[in-house]
Amino acid sequence: MIVAAKCTSKSSTEIADNTQVPAASAKAGSSDSKFPKASLWSTFFTSGFSVGETYSESSSSEKKTVHSRNSWWAAAVRKVVSGGSMRRFQERVLGSVRTDVSSSDGDIWLLGVCHKISPHEATGDVDTRNVFAAFEQDFSSKILITYRKGFDAIEDSKYTSDVNWGCMLRSSQMLVAQALLFHKLGRSWRKTIDKPVDKDYIEILQLFGDSEAAAFSIHNLLQAGKGYGLAVGSWVGPYAMCRTWEVLARNPREKNDQGEPPLPMAIYVVSGDEDGERGGAPVVCIEDASKRCSEFSRGLVSWTPLLLLVPLVLGLDKVNLRYIPLLQSTFKFPQSLGILGGKPGASTYIIGVQNDKAFYLDPHDVKPVVNITGDTQEPNTASYHCNISRHMPLDSIDPSLAIGFYCRDKDDFDDFCSQASKLAEESNGAPLFTVAQSRSLPMQVTSNSVSSDNTRFEEDDSLGMNLVNDAGTNEDDWQFL
What's the whole-number average pLDDT of the chain? 76
Q: Catalytic one among 138, 362, 398, 476?
A: 362
Q: How far apart are CA 80 and CA 460, in angstroms?
A: 54
Q: Residue 371: what pLDDT?
A: 85
The candidate with the shortest Cα–Cα distance to 475, out of 249, 282, 336, is 282
The candidate with the shortest Cα–Cα distance to 30, out of 327, 311, 273, is 311
Q: Catalytic one among 32, 162, 167, 398?
A: 167
Q: How far apart are CA 95 and CA 16, in angstroms?
A: 23
Q: How far apart are CA 475 and CA 471, in angstroms?
A: 10
Parallel/antiparallel/unpaired status of strands 366-368 and 147-149: parallel
Is there a catalytic annotation at residue 407? no
Is there a catalytic annotation at residue 386? no
pLDDT one-digit tens code per residue, 62-77: 444 444 444 444 444 3
Provide, rounded to the nearest whole percent, the portion of the chain with pLDDT above 90.
53
pLDDT one-digit tens code per residue, 36-67: 444 444 444 343 333 333 333 344 444 444 44
Is there a catalytic annotation at residue 364? yes
Q: Residue 99: what pLDDT?
A: 61
**In this structure, are residues 162 and 153 in contact, taking their beta carbons and an 8 Å threshold?**
no
Q: Residue 100: what pLDDT?
A: 66
Cβ-based neighbours of 161, under 8 Å, separated by 6 or more: 16, 17, 18, 19, 147, 148, 149, 150, 151, 366
CA distances to 182, 253, 263 from 306, in Å: 12, 19, 10
Average pLDDT over residues 295-301: 92
Cβ-based neighbours of 89, under 8 Å, separated by 6 or more: 38, 41, 42, 45
Where do runs of H (alpha helix) occur along 83-166? Answer: 85-94, 128-141
Q: What is the distance, to the nearest Å, from the Cα of residue 204 to the centroid of all Cα atoms in its chain?
A: 16
Average pLDDT over residues 289-304: 93
Q: What is the distance, to the nearest Å, from the Cα of residue 173 to the centroid of all Cα atoms in its chain?
A: 6
pLDDT one-digit tens code per residue, 152-209: 999 999 999 999 999 999 999 999 999 999 999 999 999 988 778 889 999 999 999 9
Model pTM score: 0.74
Average pLDDT over residues 125-143: 82
Helix (H/G/I), strand (E/B), else coil: 181: helix
Q: Catalytic one among 32, 364, 407, 417?
A: 364
Give the torsion through C-alpha atoms of 84, 86, 88, 89, to 10 deg: 160
Q: How far apart are CA 402 and CA 338, in angstroms?
A: 9
**SS3 letters across 273-309:** CCCCCCCCCCEEEHHHHHHHHHHHCCCCCCCCCEEEE
**In this structure, are residues 353 and 101 in contact, taking their beta carbons and an 8 Å threshold?**
no
Q: How far apart are CA 182 and CA 166, in angstroms?
A: 25
pLDDT one-digit tens code per residue, 372-411: 876 666 788 999 999 899 999 999 999 999 999 999 999 9
